Structure 1
Amino acid sequence: MRTDSFQQVLEDLNGASADVEASALISNDGLIIASALPTNVDEDRVGAMSAALLSLGDRAGRELARGDIDRIMIQGERGYVIMTSAGEEAVLTIMAKPNAKLGLIFLDIKRAAEALAKLL
Structure 2
Amino acid sequence: MELRDEVRKEMVLLRERTPDVRGSVASTVDGLTIACDLVIDSGEQVAALASALLAMSRRMLVLAGRGELEETLISGSAGHAALYAAGPTIVLTVLAKPGANLGLLRLEGRKTASTVAEVARHVHSRSEEA
TM-score by length of 2: 0.88
Residue 106 of structure 1, CA deviation: 1.0
Match of 1:15 in 2: 16
Q: Tell me what 2:112 maps to.
A: 112
1:83, CA displacement in angstroms?
0.1
**1:58 alignment counterpart:** 58
Partner of 2:25: 24
Divergent runs of 4+, >3 A: none
- The AA in structure 2 aligned to 1:26 is S
Superposed CA deviations along residues 2-44 of structure 1, whole A, max 9, x for unmatched, are 3221111010011111100011111000001011011x33121
SS at match of 2:52: helix
Q: CA deviation at 1:98?
A: 1.2
> Structure 2: any 5+ residue segments left out of the alignment?
121-130
Q: For residue 33 of structure 1, what is the aligned residue in structure 2? A: 34
SS of the residue corresponding to residue 82 of structure 2 reads strand
Q: Tell me how far apart the structure 2 counterparts of residues 43 and 80 of structure 1 sit (CA, whole Å).
A: 15
Q: Distance in 2 between matches of 1:6 and 1:70?
A: 19
Cα RMSD after superposing both structures: 0.9
Q: Give the number of the structure whose alpha-carbon radius of gyration is greater.
A: 2
Residue identity in the other structure for 2:83: M
Which residue does the alignment assign to 2:83?
83
Structure 1 stretches of 5 or more lacking a match? Answer: none
Q: Aligned residue for 1:94?
A: 94
**How many residues are treated as equivalent by the alignment?**
119
CA distance in 2, matches of 1:44, 1:113: 19
Corresponding residue SS for 1:47: helix
Q: Distance in 1 between matches of 2:41 and 2:94?
A: 12
In proportion to residue count, which structure has more helix?
A: 2
Q: Within 2, Cα distance between the matches of 1:98 and 1:36?
A: 18
